[in-house]
Amino acid sequence: MGIGGTHAATGGALASGGRSNNGGSIATGGSHAGGGSSVTGGNSNMSGTSTVAACPQSPPIDAAPCGSTAFTCFYDDCPNGGRTLAICSSGAWSVTIGSSCAVNCTGPGLIYPVSCTGGQVCVITGGGARMASCSQSTCGQGPVSAACAGAAGCQFSASLTSGAIFNCPSSCPAGSGGCA
């Protein structure tokens, strides 16, 4: 445990738990090959009306109480600071902080992987062909969500080492060979 009750990102931990408060499922077990902590599959702040749990506007303090609903929040204060992954599980926050501001927009089947600058998110669109692009985030120091990242309807994943990535469905018909 580091100074002030936070953990240093030391590799591989992946958030785990149930469903988010607003319908998006959150991270499931496994490990992240690039090191650092990861969250995949959704964001607890993505859509709908929150009545159970929501990500606080500022990153929570490690071990602070958070309620009984399991969910994950990701904060990206780049290029000014770093990233924070906060997991509410068993009634307490587990907070991990990373200093990387790199946004690596890579993945299987991408035509041209790209690197984004701090303060941006990676948006991957797919049909037959998968294309990566960078989008300016307006989330600021608050929790990253599809709404403030300009990626409504997209699946969210993030890591302390690679940043926020949104995988967006395409309206291309199956078997069409990709979108123009």
Per residue in 29-87, pLDDT (tens digit) is: 333 333 344 444 443 333 333 334 689 999 999 999 998 899 999 999 887 888 999 99
pLDDT at 94: 96
Instruction: Give all strands (DSSP E) within the chain, no chain letters.
Output: 7-8, 38-40, 65-67, 71-76, 83-89, 91-98, 103-105, 114-116, 120-126, 130-136, 155-159, 163-168
Question: For 27-42, how does the pLDDT look when each residue is reduced to its tens digit (9 = 90+)?
Answer: 333 333 333 444 444 4
User: Cβ contacts of residue 23 below 8 Å, gap of 6+?
Assistant: 46, 47, 48
Classify 132 in phi/psi space as left (phi over 0), alpha (psi -120 to 50) or beta: beta
Which residue has better confidence, 15 or 141? 141
Record the pTM. 0.65
Per-residue pLDDT for 121 more than 60? yes
Q: Angle 8-38-2 (CA atoms, 0-180°, nearest 5)?
A: 10
Omega prior to 59 cis, within 30 of 0: no
Q: Residue ranges of the domains in the chain?
A: 103-168
